[in-house]
Amino acid sequence: MRALLPLLLLACGTSSPDTGDTDADTDATVDTDADDGTPSIVDCPGGPGCADSDDRTLRAGVAVRDANPACYESWIDHNGNFTFQRGIDELLDCGCDRLCPGDAGYTGPDEGEGDGVPRWIWVAGYQNNKPAMGVRGADQGLMGEGDGLEVRALVLDQGQTRIALVTIDAIGWMHDDNLRRREKVIAAGLDVDHVIITSSHSHAAPDSMGIYGRTQSDGGYDLDYALQVDDAVVAAVTEAVAGLTEVTMSITEIDTNTKFPNGVANLINDSRDPWIVDPRVGVIQLADQGGAPVATVVHWANHPESFGDDNAMISAGFVHPLRTGIESGTKWKDGSGKPGIGGTVLYVQGTVGGMMTSLGTSVVDPTGAVWNRSSFEREDAVGMLVAELVLEGLPGLKPVSEPRLAVAAELVYLPVVNIGFQAMFSLGVFEHRTAWNYDAEQVVDDENQPDIRTEVDVLDLGPVRMLTIPGELFPENAIGGYDGKWLPPTGATLVDERNPNPPDLTQAPSGPYLLDELGGEMNWILGLGMDEVGYLIPPYNFKLGPAPYLAEAEGDHYEETNSLGPDTWPILEAAARELLTYVDAKSEE
């Protein structure tokens, strides 16, 4: 996410709209509701309410639902700055359906039409006061088709364990929203034991966090849209359960550093020193008994923001061409491309922080075209290139015999040290998120800091171990790379010699790093898993500017302004390691 907090927030608010648990231990990190050492959220199979079974038959079902907002109005940007200015720009006061008299398909006035009151959906990711104009159309980009946001659900079933993995095209949904969705799925009577929800981190989706409204103090969270997404999640999981079928499993991993002359730098620019990018694309394929793909799960780490901030159209970013390229084929300008394989593709985000982005790249596509400006064309090129890497890598799929399905999850509390975020709680900007462990009747300050509650999950599917992390993890936290191990073949240096405030790599932590300790044959960190708590920064490189958390330090330290504080990653890492230790010990019993 990208937004700098205004200085005016320093003077705001004295209490939080959410009282939380004022009697709880303010030093708490891992939830202590379960005093027997077992995970507090779920432990399947074999945990409470989740019986074990000798049945190792794996079944899977998938479904897709539309997640574009149902009700908002559009506008005309007369001065071309992508922010709405009264007296200059023009509201198209056409109601929820954005159809006015004379438009094709117009049948009559609908909600909000002609009332002079804007019904905005705020686009998240860069700046405030950017209302959505519509959904990206078929005339934009390389693929010759429209775009849009989706909810995609994969339900996995084995013995007495049933788990739903849901991906949403969004900048990032917070824990309270995703808990509500989990509860609704479980309440639907689908015999689902656990639901894991991840966000793709699209920077052209509605503001699901509340910081990208007209101003940051107004907030941009839309409850109606949040509830619409709830319905889409429940509907997708319901359909996926109804479609459960026996599947086989195979896996592969593709190293993008071996696929282009400049390796992963053809797709990703690390805009913050040190230059450390995980170049790997992980693939799980689940096929029916006839060998036809049911679901292909693709894991990669990159910000879906190839277009940049000069865009007010809703879009899933490169995630859309990546998914459709694998499903139905890629389409380049000269007519070339690769055929798709069918089935349903889920994209799950990885270690996207610090700062994995296609902005600043010169993406070379198979036709020789170079896309080096913010555009839907570059967005499509990135997505289709990854799709083609997956399609080319399918012959290398390794079959998995009798994969075991298991999940465990634990609650974690994180202190809100960032004074800008504290002010946003006081202002009610984060009214959709509960604050914990502080006195809401007193001024929020260093002596009365709220906590937020989040979680970490471990999902095992055969040899693939997935660990959810509730935010934007810097890759170096997971894979190291301070020795230059992950540099691409050409075109990057570990630390830019022009950096006025470079990281001191002598203070960087030594391994083993978290990904090395996950213990699977193929290990994935699912970024923005069940939450978006901001950037997760290595403590050695956490540097604050002259106005801490409100203005960044020189040398590319923007991420600190959108982090909870320097202790966030150490707390999460400790909780993750504790959960992994439990899971490993249980598997040895």
pLDDT digits (tens, 9 = 90+) for 498-518: 999 999 999 999 989 999 899
Structure tokens at 158: 């084995």
Structure tokens at 253: 């991993």
pLDDT of amino acid 159:
96
Closest CA to 526 of 47, 94, 518, 204: 518
Structure tokens at 21: 């648990």
- Is the CB of residue 421 less than 8 Å from the CB of residue 3? no
Segments in 175-295 forming alpha helices (H): 175-187, 223-242
Residues sharing a CB contact under 8 Å with residue 492, sequence separation 6 or more, in sequence order: 265, 270, 275
Task: Look at strands 535-536 and 74-76 and give their pairing.
Answer: unpaired
The DSSP call for residue 361 is: -
pLDDT at 589 over 80: no
- Is the CB of residue 142 less than 8 Å from the CB of residue 129? no
Looking at every residue in the chain, the average pLDDT score rounds to 92
- Is the CB of residue 285 less than 8 Å from the CB of residue 394? yes
pLDDT of amino acid 180:
98
Closest CA to 508 of 486, 529, 477: 477
Residues sharing a CB contact under 8 Å with residue 384, sequence separation 6 or more, in sequence order: 142, 143, 321, 322, 325, 330, 331, 332, 337, 365
Closest CA to 155 of 117, 109, 120, 186: 186
- Is the CB of residue 174 less than 8 Å from the CB of residue 209? yes
CA distance 323 to 300: 12
CA distance 262 to 489: 6
The phi, psi pair for 308, rounded to 5°, reads: 95, -165
Residues sharing a CB contact under 8 Å with residue 122, sequence separation 6 or more, in sequence order: 128, 129, 130, 131, 132, 206, 207, 212, 213, 214, 220, 222
Residues sharing a CB contact under 8 Å with residue 133, sequence separation 6 or more, in sequence order: 74, 75, 77, 312, 313
In 318-375, beta strands by DSSP E:
344-349, 356-357, 363-364, 370-371
Confidence of residue 118 (pLDDT cuts 50, 70, 90): very high
Ramachandran quadrant class, 210 (left: phi over 0; alpha: psi -120 to 50; beta: rest): left
Confidence of residue 445 (pLDDT cuts 50, 70, 90): confident
pLDDT of amino acid 441:
86
CA distance 141 to 315: 11
Overall average pLDDT of the 427-446 stretch: 89
Q: How far is CA 299 from CA 8, 273, 283, 458, 460, in A?
A: 40, 24, 6, 15, 15
Overall average pLDDT of the 266-279 stretch: 96
pLDDT digits (tens, 9 = 90+) for 282-304: 999 999 999 999 999 999 999 99
pLDDT at 187 over 90: yes
pLDDT digits (tens, 9 = 90+) for 466-482: 999 999 999 999 999 99
Confidence of residue 413 (pLDDT cuts 50, 70, 90): very high
Number of neighbours of residue 446 by Cβ within 10 angstroms: 8
pLDDT of amino acid 1:
54
pLDDT of amino acid 33:
47
Q: Which amino acid is at 168?
A: I
- pTM of the shown model: 0.94
The phi, psi pair for 560, rounded to 5°, reads: -60, -30
**Which strands form 464-469's sheet, in the order they lie side by side?**
42-44, 405-415, 451-461, 464-469, 522-527
CA distance 529 to 467: 8
Our measurement of the distance from residue 312's CA atom to the centroid of its chain's CA atoms, rounded to an integer in Å, reads 20
Strand-pairing partners, residue 408, are 43, 458
CB-count burial class (<10 Å; 0-12, 13-18, 19+) for 138 = exposed
Which of 17-31, 101-115, 304-318 is predicted least confidently? 17-31
Helix, strand, coil percent content, the chain, rounded in steps of 5: 20, 25, 55
pLDDT of amino acid 417:
97
- Is the CB of residue 339 less than 8 Å from the CB of residue 303? no
Ramachandran quadrant class, 53 (left: phi over 0; alpha: psi -120 to 50; beta: rest): beta
Structure tokens at 348: 């799950």
pLDDT at 6 over 50: no
CA distance 151 to 172: 13
Ramachandran quadrant class, 343 (left: phi over 0; alpha: psi -120 to 50; beta: rest): left
pLDDT of amino acid 36:
60
Strand-pairing partners, residue 524, are 466
The phi, psi pair for 9, rounded to 5°, reads: -65, -20
Structure tokens at 425: 């709680």
CA distance 218 to 221: 9
